[in-house]
Amino acid sequence: MFRAMAGEDVKRPISFTFEGRTVAAAPGMSVAAALLAEGITAFRQTAVSQSERGPFCMMGTCYDCVVLINGETVQACMTPVREGLIVARVPIVTQAQAS
Amino acid sequence: MSNSFDIVIIGAGPAGMTAAVEADRHGASVCLLDEQSDAGGQIYRNVAQAPAARTKIMGEDYREGAALVENLDASGAVHRRNVTVWKVGKDGAIAFSKDGQAEQIYARHIIIANGATERAVPVPGWTTPGVMTVGAAQILMKTSGIMPVGAVLIGSGPLLYLVARQLVAAGAPPKALVETQTRADLIRAMRHFWQALRGWKQLVKGVGLIAAIWWARVPRHTGATDIAIEGEGFVERIRFRAKGRDHVIQSDTVLLHQGVVPNTQVARSIGLDQIYDTAQFCFKPVTDAHGQSSNPLFSVAGDGAGIGGAKVAAISGRLSALNALRQINKITETDREKRAGPLLERREAEMAIRPFLDAAYPPPQQVLSPADDTIICRCEEVRAGDIRRYAALGCTGPNQTKSFGRSGMGACQGRYCGLVVTEILAEETGQSQDAVGSYRIRAPLKPISLGELAGLSDGKTP
Amino acid sequence: MATIVIGGGVVGLSVAYGLLKRGKEVIVLDGADDDFRASRGNFGLVWVQGKGANAPHYATWSRRSAALWSSFAQDLHAETGVDVDYQNAGGVEYFTDEAALQKQVETLSRLRDALGGDYPFDVLDHAALQERVPEIGPKVVGGIYTNMDGHVNPLYLLRALSIAVRKAGGTITTGTHVVKVDAQDRDFTVLLEDGTRIAGDALVLAAGLGAMELAHSLGFEAPIRPQQGQVLITEKLPFFLKYPSGTLRQVNEGGVQIGASKAEVGFDDDEDISTSAALAQHAIDVFPHLGQVKLLRSWAALRIMSPDGLPIYQRSPTALGASFMTCHSGITLAAAHANLMPDWVLESNAAPDVSQFSESRFHV
């Protein structure tokens, strides 16, 4: 669970949606940070086993925080929040499993 | 906007920033390619923008980055922001993506300053939502002013203590530290202690961190083994063994750390010679003292050339700039010797503590050689046991292993599984890590859209 | 006494597997992790359409192998537990140029005539194609469908063959480099770089581009050259592409594979931007929605090309018991290599007639 640090200005004037749910954010936050602050830790499912995944590295190298924005898959940790942004989970892919 | 420069620098952390300033000072045309919107890399992430209260919590080492950003802003270096480099050519051409458009840029010399990533810490359950690196928690604090409450920190290394102390200062002391360092590690490290005394200031800082953590009554468990993270869809608890007992700690957030390792994706993609550092358990590009790599067009600076920390990176950035200037004949050999001399001495002094730290906080066996059913490739969910099976099928290196089992084929392109696969194969086949090698890296270094790539087409049929 | 197979790619492993099934002792000598390894870089097609346009015997051979593929895949699954995911719902060649489409229709029609009518294909205009493949874009003028085509996961195939060869009692030694071969009639000694000597009474040279080094000492000409092909693969997508083409297929993991270029650049297996960009453009021309999809990886591999692009199957004129096998369609031909070619290697009565693929055809 994530909370604002001591001494932080907790105003969250920006509002966007994730899977239809409204999320409040402060300017400068990444989509990933805003979702974590909202208590959302899982952003997608893996193709191999449909396991839930969420942010891991926060620096754009692990690709576990990928979400769908404007029809494109993007890393939530590298995407700044914007007013009215519509964020969704990436469509589920199921794949043949190697034995 | 020009797309041709004397020197292009990839990465805007301490090494990239000082390299840009140094090169610009000597009259070279310089372009700094920054993946973030503001300079600082990861260690000084958001330092110029963060509010004062936040910067105070993160500590004085973090604040030092502000001066580097100021110097960069004051210099004549062209700072391209929000740039994703996706191809680096051996001939000095770089392709990158900015605002959804692919661009190409050319340089007479390129300084690779893309820093480090956290070492992967493959323990059971490490892919569960709520598990992150300590670096990730730091980035959240630096950029977004949020912190995990009641987190359990697992692993070893100075950064573990730094983040713990930062969390204490921020008002959310960790629920516990579960440390893999054993007394034997510390005793083995003592042979480097006299040398480490040269860096006594850093030692004092380290002791200060540990004292602050003790003062805040954060429970510490050392010599931890058999670590496992449990929870369905989110973290619920951590299990481990320490001091002869089984432990369980409830938490919804776990922060992992087993040191940082050089990010060698770019270096490998252009085929730079690399060597396995047995003290740091990772690959790094082969460079001379000035950062010159095996390709005359490329220097490597900062943690990407070998882990040394931010202060060392800042010095090595300047050294690599001087090297680049010498390579393109902007300064003479004599000039370079003169200017580099004091920098080399200072770097040596700053590196004095390294052997001690490397020996004191090694990655434990559980992480170097995970149990069979531990996922080691997060992207493709390949397990350690799968890699061992492929070794038994005759795979002698990571590339054949990748083709058999898909490890390294995911979006992260082996950034996290690469070292683990090399370690497992080395163990299984009895080869050295150098002999085993690493994944072949090809463009795109990071995913780019087909539309953007097609934009570079010159119309000919493939 | 053993049959030595030099080369542990798809050709070497397929024929090794077949030889083992016929009760021979087989030793496979495979190269290093970072050798060129065409078997790791191919497209994964089991493809018949268009092959052998000027050589009907090659069309027939490809077709024969494709017909054996289903039972070959089942056989491997039963032996190893690995499902290589062979799909044969047919294939479609997509065309964005009317003239090119017409030219191919003519080529295939000629081939059909040469084969006495036994060569099924349907020519589909844009509308008809769109009914089957709704995602095609406006630039697609039409396509050619045939039920003879299919695709498979080539990496699973390699792994399955590797397991199958071992299970059947074969030895695969990896990371080797053959320094020289002493070849007498039915008496071969292979010297490896580490000093090991391997002896056998039969030898199959199936070492891809590596065969060039050893060919002459075994009496082969091996007029082969490298031809670079680049392939792109996208991020995983929900499944949409039912019919693979020679240039686009959605693999079972979900990514769309885009290929493949042809470039004569010697032993260079580095990818280059203009080729990648052209491949990306082609993908978007056929499936416009792919424009927003992310390219995840690319690779380049070197095909082993003979002067006419057809396989070479040659028995050694200087040493009885040595044979040379090379092709650039190792996946399509894997079934034939596993089921038919071992009889040719063993010179048994069941041997297929592959005399048209010998090296003597280059002497005309």
**∠ Cα B424 B434 B318 (to 5°):** 115
Q: Is B345 on the interface with A (CB under 8 A)?
A: no
Q: What CA–CA distances, in Å, run from B95 to B79, B87, B91, B412, B418?
A: 16, 5, 12, 19, 24
pLDDT (0 to 100) of residue B185: 97
B120-258: CATH topology: FAD/NAD(P)-binding domain (3.50.50)
Distance CA B325, CA B333 (A): 10
Of the candidates C319, C249, C286, the one whose C-alpha atom is nearest the C-alpha of residue C89 is C249
Q: What is the CATH number of the domain that holds A40?
A: 3.10.20.440
pLDDT (0 to 100) of residue B462: 57
Q: Is A98 on the interface with C (CB under 8 A)?
A: yes
Cβ-defined contact of C291 to B451 (cutoff 8 Å): yes
Q: Is A98 on the interface with B (CB under 8 A)?
A: yes
B229 three-class SS: strand
Q: Is B120 on the interface with A (CB under 8 A)?
A: no
* CATH number of this structure's domain B4-117+261-331, picked from the four choices 3.50.50.60, 3.30.1300.10, 3.40.710.10, 3.90.780.10: 3.50.50.60
**Which of residues 264 through 323 in chain C touch B, CB cutoff 8 A?**
270-271, 273-284, 290-300
Residues 6+ apart with CB under 8 A from B5: B28, B29, B30, B31, B78, B105, B106, B107, B108
- In this prediction, the answer to ipTM > 0.90 reads yes
**Is the distance from CB of C337 to CB of C12 less than 8 angstroms?**
no
Q: Write the residue in C82, C238, C252 that is nearest to A91 by C-beta.
A: C238
Distance CA B368, CA B156 (A): 13
Write out B280-334 in H/E/C secondary structure: CCEEEECCCCCCECCCCCEEECHHHHCCCCHHHHHHHHHHHHHHHHHHCCCCCHH
Residue A45 falls inside a structural domain = yes
pLDDT at C46 over 70: yes
- High-pLDDT (> 70) share of chain C, %: 100
Subunits with 3+ Cβ pairs within 8 Å of C are A, B
Superfamily of segment(s) B369-436? BFD-like [2Fe-2S]-binding domain (1.10.10.1100)
Counting as low any pLDDT under 70, the low residues of chain B are 459-462
Residue A5 falls inside a structural domain = no
Q: What CA–CA distances, in Å, run from B202 to B117, B189, B209, B257, B300?
A: 22, 16, 11, 19, 25
**Is the distance from CB of B13 to CB of B307 less than 8 angstroms?**
no
Query: What DSSP element (H or E) covers A44?
Result: strand A44-45
Cβ-defined contact of B462 to C279 (cutoff 8 Å): yes
Q: Write the residue in A47, A73, A98 that is nearest to C254 by C-beta.
A: A47
The pTM assigned to this predicted structure is 0.94
Q: Write the residue in C81, C159, C236 that is nearest to A47 by C-beta.
A: C236
The CA distance from B406 to the nearest CA of chain C, in Å, is 9
**Domain C2-79+154-223+308-363 shares a fold with domain C91-147+225-305:** no
Cα C243–chain centre separation: 19
- Describe the strand order of the beta sheet including C178-184 as a list of residue ranges: C178-184, C187-192, C197-200
**∠ Cα C45 C47 C48 (to 5°):** 180
Q: What CA–CA distances, in Å, run from B162 to A2, B135, C106?
A: 19, 10, 72
Q: Write the residue in B54, B128, B233 that is nearest to A5 by C-beta.
A: B54
Residue of C74, C152, C159, C253 to mutate when probing chain A, most A C-beta within 10 A: C253
Cβ-defined contact of C299 to B398 (cutoff 8 Å): no
pLDDT (0 to 100) of residue A98: 39
The structural domains of chain C, with segments of one domain joined by +, span 2-79+154-223+308-363, 91-147+225-305
Mean pLDDT, to the nearest integer, of C148-168?
96
In which band, very low, low, confident or very high, does the pLDDT at C41 lie, cut at 50, 70 and 90? confident
Residue A96 falls inside a structural domain = no
Q: Write the residue in A4, A48, A52 that is nearest to B380 by C-beta.
A: A48
- Domain with A49 in it: 14-90
What class, spelled out in words, does domain C2-79+154-223+308-363 have in CATH? Answer: alpha beta
Q: Is B385 on the interface with A (CB under 8 A)?
A: no
pLDDT (0 to 100) of residue A95: 72
**Is the distance from CB of B79 to CB of B39 less than 8 angstroms?**
yes
Query: What DSSP element (H or E) covers B62?
Result: helix B60-74
Q: Is A49 on the interface with C (CB under 8 A)?
A: no
The per-residue pLDDT of chain A, averaged, comes to 93
pLDDT (0 to 100) of residue C33: 79
Residue B160 token pair: 């573990």
Residue B456 half-sphere exposure toward CB, CA atoms < 13 A: 24
Residue A50 falls inside a structural domain = yes
Distance CA B41, CA B20 (A): 14
Q: Count residue pairs from B and C with Cβ separation < 8 A.
A: 127
Q: Count residue pairs from A and C with Cβ separation < 8 A.
A: 32
pLDDT (0 to 100) of residue A97: 45
**Which of residues 147 through 186 in chain B touch A, CB cutoff 8 A?**
147-150, 169-172
Q: Is A95 on the interface with B (CB under 8 A)?
A: no
Cβ-defined contact of B400 to C234 (cutoff 8 Å): no
Residue A63 falls inside a structural domain = yes
pLDDT (0 to 100) of residue C149: 96
pLDDT (0 to 100) of residue C305: 93
pLDDT (0 to 100) of residue B459: 65
pLDDT at C88 over 80: yes
Tell me how many domains chain A contains: 1
Phi, psi of B431 (to 5 degrees): -90, 160
In which band, very low, low, confident or very high, does the pLDDT at A99 lie, cut at 50, 70 and 90? very low
Q: Which of A84-88, B119-123, C221-225 has the lowest mean pLDDT?
A: C221-225
Residue C135 neighbours by CB distance under 10 Å: 13
Residue A28 falls inside a structural domain = yes
Distance CA C86, CA C70 (A): 7
Pairing of strands B30-33, B4-10: parallel
Q: Is C291 on the interface with A (CB under 8 A)?
A: no
Quote the radius of gyration of chain C (alpha carbons, Å). Answer: 21
Cβ-defined contact of B234 to A41 (cutoff 8 Å): yes
Cβ-defined contact of C252 to A99 (cutoff 8 Å): no
pLDDT (0 to 100) of residue B458: 74
* Residue C315: strand pairing partners: C323
The structural domains of chain B, with segments of one domain joined by +, span 4-117+261-331, 120-258, 369-436
**Domain B4-117+261-331 shares a fold with domain B369-436:** no
Quote the radius of gyration of chain A (alpha carbons, Å). Answer: 14
Residue identified by tokens 């480090």 is: B116
Please provide the CATH number assigned to the domain covering C91-147+225-305: 3.30.9.10
Residue A2 falls inside a structural domain = no
Pairing of strands B4-10, B101-112: parallel
